[in-house]
Chains A and B, each alone.
Chain A
Amino acid sequence: MNTQKTGLAPKHQRLILVVVALLVLVAAGMLAAWGLRSQADYFYLPEDIAKNPPEPGRAIRLGGMVQQGSIRTLSDGVTIAFRVTGREGNAIPVTYRGIVPDLFVEGSGVIANGRLGTNGTFEAETLLAKHDENYTPRELEGLSDQAMHEVLEESAAGTP
């Protein structure tokens, strides 16, 4: 590509530049497509996990409501265990080692990033709680207040 020797016209050099840039962009696009497919964290509601469980160890996002009366702190003081319910009353047990976010309370919405363990317990690495009325995690928008209340009443009725 030594233009001095081959006497490449500027027009050809521009063409080569365009071709190289396009090749790199196509490569970027293909790498991105591959990365997106293999690294995307799919969002699950508890009933999705019950119906069609993801393979254990794959990173996913679990969203739903924290079941009433389900939060307990384990004896080490830093691991908490709770259950997450969705629209249909399936409850997924979750453990989380860390400091829970502000406003993480029973009966409130939560999104957990993590993996499903082989024993069916979801091991959360991060928790996102519903901050206030104006800031609901996007994935929980599908759960209307009405649906949330129904779920909560059902799950509350189910617990003695």
Chain B
Amino acid sequence: MIAEIGLAALWLAAGLCALQFIAGVLGVREAGADGAVHPVSALARPAAVVQGLLLLVAFACLLRVFAVTDLSVALVADNSHVDKPFIYRLSAAWGNHEGSMLLWVTILGLSGGLVALFERRMDDRFMKAVLAAQAFIALGFLAFLLFSSNPFARLNPPADFGAGLNPLLQDIGLAFHPPTLYLGYVGLSVAFSFVVAGLVTRQAGPELARVMRPWVLAAWVALTLGIAAGSYWAYYELGWGGWWFWDPVENASLMPWLAATALLHSVSVLAARDALRTWTIMLGVVAFSMSMVGTFLVRSGILTSVHAFAVDPERGAFILGLLAIYVGGGFGLFALRAGALAEGKRFALVSREGALVFNNVMLSGILAVVLLGTLYPLAAEALGTRVSIGPPYYNPVSAIFAVPMLLVLLVGPLLRWKRDSLSRIAVPLAIVGALLAASVTVLVLFTDAGVLPVLGLAIAVALALASWLPLRGRKLKRVPLALWGSMLAHFGVAVSLAGMASETAFSIERLVAVEAGESVAVGPYQVTLQEVDPVAGPNWTALEGRLAITGGGVDTVLRPQARYFTDPPQSTSESALLTRWDGQFYAILGDAAGEGRWQLRLWWKPFVTLIWYGALLIALGGLLSIFGHLRASARSRRIREEVARRRAEKALL
């Protein structure tokens, strides 16, 4: 019954979505002609709100059938199991293709509802265009769900136990990773809808930027958190000790992030200075295209990975079709209308805008490098050669663009809008430059780190200081919240960069086969294998190694495991981590190596945790900016209303 309610809610939502689209289109057309608004167009906002609620109902139904493990629902039978712990039964609801697409659409519907309810800053015709664009996107994905990925399909007869969930996905990281990424993808789709409305109604000024900005920032914060969570998950769950593999699926989330980063910076130029109009509009289209490409890469099954839950050519073709319609439509509209947009304001090369343009162009360069690297193996395979692209390509080629961008980031925030001169900021420039040079010198003289880690660490040190320099000459109490946000985010970049460079340059790895009682030295620690015991969990059994870690002010025991799951049968390595303020100790238990020995793989990774702390700071900075901008916008609206009221009073007198 619950499954039928869910399916009915989905169909109703699809119907309302169609209504919202028609109402939106009518609203744009009629109001343009003679100012008279078609009566149906008034339904656009309510349709969006109710549609969001219906999708929430559908998703709640899906959670319900997973919570009670209703094995007459095919999706539950395929992806869950009666013996699974409750929290993983719930997260299994979106740990599969159909469920994750429903989550995508639900978040999309809720965002549409939020826009319809609360966004009152733009005129009615603009909002109708936004809602029509939102409905057009949602309609495609609802069709995909209903026609080729129905999550509520029944199984007759019901299954006895359920097939279970890939144990790699049986993890608290999974409960968090997909929803945040989808929030990011969907946030960019809302920004895209605003851009489409801007093109249709020929409004591409600072107002457009101001209504877009919270969504772009929210999407960017969510993508940042989603990428960081995915990276940490891969780091401890895969047991390979790495935190980024340039896997196509990772790139699928990185590319929208790069585009969103460029977009949010150009949006702030548009909002503050009314410059970069066409560029911002184009980035809005690009950012959404990247989230569509990401969805396509991950959801179509074109890549074989833990994310490609089921390989089904029909679904791949369907998503490719949606991709072609939305991306093609977006760029087509851009090509038709971009020429008609009014010109923005000009600026000098040495100015805040100039630095931000540089940032944008370099980010686009990195995006192009990652996109080509991700698509090349697919293209090569279509032509009959099989290749794979890894760090030897991505690291140096993306660094060619990343390093100049980071260097400009050191000084960009210090520059004034419109035009400035480097001599005005000579003092901070000299301080940051000296710090950079000193760091490079120290690192080259006293360590044997490679070129990129040296540059990374030196830039991180300089940026950790430079990110706070915009405070110079300001009264601390009067610094706007949004500026705190941007400084914190830039500081987060420095922190994260320091972690990446330090892990790359200074990690110590030991691979040994030891008997019980034997010791090895790893970095500052002495590691002794005490014994290896069998242990059992709710749906797995494991061999557990007991490692005594001493030295460096530590005296503790780590327990890495080799786990064997029963449904489905699979085994995983559970790493054991010891987190210290200055890094992480990482242990993996391998196989028996003969003569009573066990394989151990041990790492000491100095400051590796900074990577994810930095990401959290970046996200926190983004949140501060959202609140800062929303508060400022609410305040200026209050002031405008107050002024209007006083004028009205004066007129009456």
A51 interface hit (Cβ, 8 Å): no
Contact with A along B586-614 (1 / 0, CB 8 A): 00101101110101010000000000000
Q: How far is the CB of A111 from chain B (nearest CB, A)?
A: 9
Contact sample, A vs B, 23 pairs, CB 8 Å cutoff: A1-B348, A1-B349, A4-B419, A13-B347, A14-B344, A21-B361, A25-B364, A27-B365, A28-B366, A29-B372, A31-B400, A35-B369, A39-B393, A40-B380, A40-B389, A42-B387, A43-B385, A73-B594, A78-B513, A99-B591, A132-B568, A132-B570, A135-B306
Chain B residues lying within 8 Å of A3, measured Cβ to Cβ, are 346-348
Q: Residue on A with the closest CB to B385? A: A42
B303 CB, nearest partner CB in chain A, Å = 7
Which residues on A sit within 8 Å (CB–CB) of B365? 24-25, 27-28
Q: Is B357 an interface residue (CB 8 A)?
A: yes
Q: Say yes or no: is A100 at the interface (Cβ < 8 Å to chain B).
A: yes
Choose the segment among A86-94, A116-124, A136-144, A151-159 that binds chain B (4+ C-beta atoms closer than 8 Å).
A136-144
Would A102 and B573 count as touching, CB distance under 8 A?
Answer: yes
- The winner among A3, A8, A136 for most chain B CB atoms within 10 A is A3
- Give chain B residues whose Cβ lies under 8 Å from the Cβ of A25: 364-365, 368
Which residues from chain B contact A61 at a C-beta distance below 8 Å?
Answer: 386, 388
A125 to B551, CA, bound (A): 31
Cα A27 to Cα B390 in complex, Å, equals: 20
Query: In the complex, which residues of chain A have a beta carbon less than 8 angstroms from the beta carbon of B144?
Result: none
Which chain B positions have C-beta within 8 A of A137?
Answer: 304
> Does residue B172 face the partner (Cβ distance < 8 Å to A)?
no
A-B complex: 8 closest residue pairs judged by Cβ atoms: A77-B513, A77-B593, A99-B590, A43-B386, A39-B393, A10-B343, A102-B571, A28-B368
| B343 touching A135, Cβ below 8 Å | no
Q: Is A20 on the interface with B (CB-CB < 8 A)?
A: yes
* Contact status A43-B389, CB under 8 Å: no
Bits for B327-358, please: 1 = Cβ < 8 Å to A, else 0.
Answer: 00000000000000001111111000000010
The verdict on B553 contacting chain A, using a C-beta distance below 8 Å, is no
Set of chain A residues within 8 Å of B588, measured between Cβ atoms:
99
| B389 contacts A39, C-beta separation under 8 Å | yes
CA distance A73 to B562 in the complex (A): 19
Pair A17/B357 contact, Cβ less than 8 Å: yes
Number of A-B residue pairs, CB cutoff 8 Å, is 147
Asked if A103 CB lies within 8 Å of chain B CBs, one says yes
Q: A77 touches which one: B389, B393, B400, B597 (CB < 8 A)? A: B597
- Smallest CB gap from A23: residue in B: B361
Interface residues of B in 397-412 (CB under 8 A from A): 397, 400-401
B346→A36 contact, CB < 8 A: no
CB pair A135 B304 closer than 8 Å: yes
CA distance in complex: A100, B588 (Å): 11
B373 on the A face (CB < 8 A) = yes
A27-64: CB near B (< 8 Å → 1, else 0) gives 11101110110011111000000000000000101000
Known: A2-B348, A24-B362. A32 touches B397 (CB 8 A): yes
CB distance from A35 to the nearest CB of B (A): 4
A145 within 8 A of B: no
Contact status B361-A103, CB under 8 Å: no
Most chain A beta-carbon neighbours within 10 Å: one of B393, B512, B571, B588: B393
The answer to whether the Cβ of A69 comes within 8 Å of any Cβ in the partner chain is no
Residue of A with least CB distance to B393: A39
**Contact (Cβ within 8 A) A43 B591:** no
User: Considering the chains assembled together, what is the distance between the CA atoms of A24 and B364 in angstroms?
Assistant: 8
Residues of A within 8 A of B392 (CB): 39, 59
Contacts of B279 in A (CB 8 A): 17, 21
Is B511's CB under 8 angstroms from A97's CB?
A: yes
| Tier of interface size on chain B | 35 or more
Contact B513 A2 (CB under 8 A): no
CB of A72, distance to nearest CB on chain B (Å):
10
Given A17-B357, A36-B373, A41 and B347 touching (CB < 8 A)?
A: no
What is the CA–CA distance of A68 and B393 in the complex, to the nearest angstrom?
Answer: 35
In angstroms, Cα B387 to Cα A41, docked, is 5
Report how far A12 CA is from B230 CA in the complex, Å.
44
Using Cβ atoms and an 8 Å threshold, which residues of chain B touch A99?
239, 511, 573, 588, 590-591, 599, 601
Instruction: Known A-B contacts: A1-B349, A21-B364, A40-B393. Give 15 more (CB < 8 A).
Output: A1-B348, A2-B419, A13-B347, A14-B278, A24-B361, A25-B364, A28-B366, A35-B393, A36-B393, A39-B392, A43-B387, A78-B599, A102-B562, A102-B572, A131-B570
* Complex: chain B residue closest to A59, CB-CB: B392
Per the bound structure, the CA–CA distance linking A42 and B239 in Å amounts to: 26
CB contacts (< 8 Å) of B364 on chain A: these are: 21, 24-25, 28
* Residue contact B591 to A100, C-beta cutoff 8 Å: yes
Contact indicator B511/A98 (Cβ below 8 Å): yes
B450 at the interface (CB under 8 A from A): no
Q: How far, in angstroms, from A117 to B258 measured CA to CA in the complex?
A: 39
**A residues near B419, Cβ cutoff 8 Å:** 2, 4
Q: Give the distance in Å from the alpha carbon of A24 to the alpha carbon of B279 in the complex.
A: 15
Contact between B389 and A36, CB atoms less than 8 A apart: yes
Cα–Cα, bound, A8→B346 (Å): 8
Q: Which residues of B sit under 8 angstroms from A9, Cβ to Cβ?
A: 343, 346
Expressed in whole angstroms, the minimum distance between the Cβ of B16 and any Cβ of chain A is: 36
Residues of B within 8 A of A126 (CB): 240
Instruction: Please report the C-alpha to C-alpha distance between residue A99 and residue B603 in the assembled complex, in whole angstroms.
Output: 13
Any A CB within 8 A of the CB of B396? yes
Q: Is the CB of A41 within 8 A of B601?
A: no
Chain B residue with Cβ nearest A98: B511
Q: A17-B357, A41-B390, A42-B386 are in contact. Are A36 and B590 (CB under 8 A)?
A: no
